[in-house]
Structure 1
Amino acid sequence: MTTDVAAEGTGVVQDAHDAQAAPTGTTPADLSRLSLNTATTKRWTLREAVDGAVRAGLSSIGPWRDRVQEVGAAEAARIIEGAGLRVSSLCRGGFLTTDDDAAAQAALDDNRRAIVEAATLGTRELVMVVGGLPAASAPGGPALPYPAHVPLPGAATARAGSAHSGQPGAPTAARAAGGSSRSGGDARTDDPVDDPARDLVAARQRVADRIGELAPFAAGHGVRLVLEPLHPIFTADRAVISTLGQALDIAEPFPAEVVGVVVDTYHVWWDPDLQRQIARAGAGGRIAGYQVCDWILPLASDPLLSRGHVGDGYVDFATITRWVRDAGYTGDVEVEIFNEDVWSAPGDETLATMADRYVRHVLPHL
């Protein structure tokens, strides 16, 4: 289960109140559940992020794998533990939707490495961003063209010279070369075209199947696979799971200590069924993390970078936090922000803002 930090007191480390000093005669803010996700201070190394978290009075940190891999998992664990911090989660595993056998095996192998990294760091929570459609050329990239010709069941056999390989779901030579029946490929323009790389239902099923393949390995290492639904704007290229309900549907065939979910306000704040699904997750003991940041407008040219500090946008943190609290979650609250302006600000300034907004908008409702 998720580490219970609500009963640990303030849990602050030496010099913890330097950045959050309280006026004389008042009680310092309780930051014992506030965690820095290293994506928020993207330009800091792991050691810099750890030192900054200590200066800000935090008790935990949620590293991304890129920062861990810069020094190695064992050294990362020593740096974090040596500073008196715990690891709230590791980001990220996932990207399990490919329809290519070799790529699928590579993804599974990488996720097993991520599971070992999480265990080495001493966290049981590995956040999983499951991946978008195989038709995505890359996260944030344009869609690959339709194959030159993939006949629907019952359609006429493709003419000689069709580039279709005959393997459903396999990338075709025509697609790799940019061929498309819409743009003058060698299939007739009036032939029906069905592209498995755009099959959203099949992609979601592959996620479920591959979570099933990874679950025993994760359980053997004491690590939980934490499914993260992403806002529907990212369905095409980053996550075919868009709602907490969809994530729970995939998680529920597995023990709660092996597969759970994370509630990320940026991604799920809009969901009209959110209260019920948070309660469902809590009843099953599956809430493995709570991540907070705000939905701000206008969106950046890359929507991924449109996260803002808590309180700068449209998210109702009071209501969602109460739902998470009432569902029984007592673990860490990570702040994860992708935003060029935030990344350009001094890291200590970002942490001070992060702590202030947490105290004002989240802590009173935990």
Structure 2
Amino acid sequence: MSGIYYPDTFTIVPPQSGFKKPGQLPPEQIQQYFDEGYTVVRDFFTPEELQPCRDAIADMVDQLAKKLHEAGKITNLHDDAGLFQRLTKIEEEFPGANILLFKHQKIPKAFRDLWCSERLLNLIEQLIGPDIAGHPVWNMRTKTPNSIALDVPWHQDCGYFSEESYNHLIPTAWVPFLDTDETNGCLQMARYGHRLGKVAAHTCCHSDTWFIDLAEEEMEKTLGVDIKNDLVTVPVPYGGFLLFNNMIPHRSLPNRSNDVRWSIDLRWQSPHENYGFYGIAEGILFRSSEQERVEPDWEKFLAVDRKEVWQKKYFKQVIETDQFDTTVTGPWIGRWHVTNENKHSQAFTKIMKLHR
């Protein structure tokens, strides 16, 4: 944990152009983002804009089902089930299918188009200025009903990155693909927890997962969070998204509904700053103040799969893992004190011993 803090970076609104572009938020909402650490952007996308993403998710689930079926892991493709039920049925036959989808996902074109869409980049420009890159860490969340695998505990996103990321803003858009509330796993925010510009001490690994964990007592002590008054449940309707920064503590609630809660995390930062991702992957340039128009180099970006690079870098002396293995490891595990040993932390320890 760094002893240098950057409160101004996360609390002071940067200079604004004064000319509102399509998609940009009113000044009071930008102010809220910097004051509270997050804001809900409603009715931003039309159903027509988001449908290609839903279709891409359905295709990813279909590919996973066929892969499991061909290997004899499931007996039914469940192709009569819809987008919000099929993965649950697959999961009933092969527990951990949701983890496989999380672990082996490749970013489809529909997600890429959303990530660098003109209106969305106009909004991000209000937060970090005209030079914008996509951060290498994006995720599709496969939150099946009543599964703890994707119940993410309290954490700061910076807790997953190296200290080089602590001094700059990394905005995240959490985009759900259905209406979300406290019944199906919307997020909770610890508002104001970003104001000191600090990264608190996390532990690892939460329950049976690979997630880091931030205790509420630590949030109070180190970040000044008022647990009784500052924890806010944040429903997000379909077509909107939750916009937050990399210092604000947050978590997701359990999915107690009958539908899969699909969502994606998309992140941006200045291309002039360190991505804080352990040298595993770089970002992708979307906008530059020195160029009138930037064509994102998707070929270069897609040539580097961060999960594969991590595997190749640290699994050099390890036999190729089972393609249906539901263990997840990553460099963040080594950053924090391991207070709960499970298969994920044990795999990480084994890897690092062999690597040394």
Place the TM-score, normalised by the shorter chain, in its bin. under 0.3
Greater Cα radius of gyration, structure 1 or 2: 1
**TM-score, scaled relative to structure 1:** 0.26
Higher RCO (CA < 8 A, seq sep 6+): 2
**TM-score, scaled relative to structure 2:** 0.26
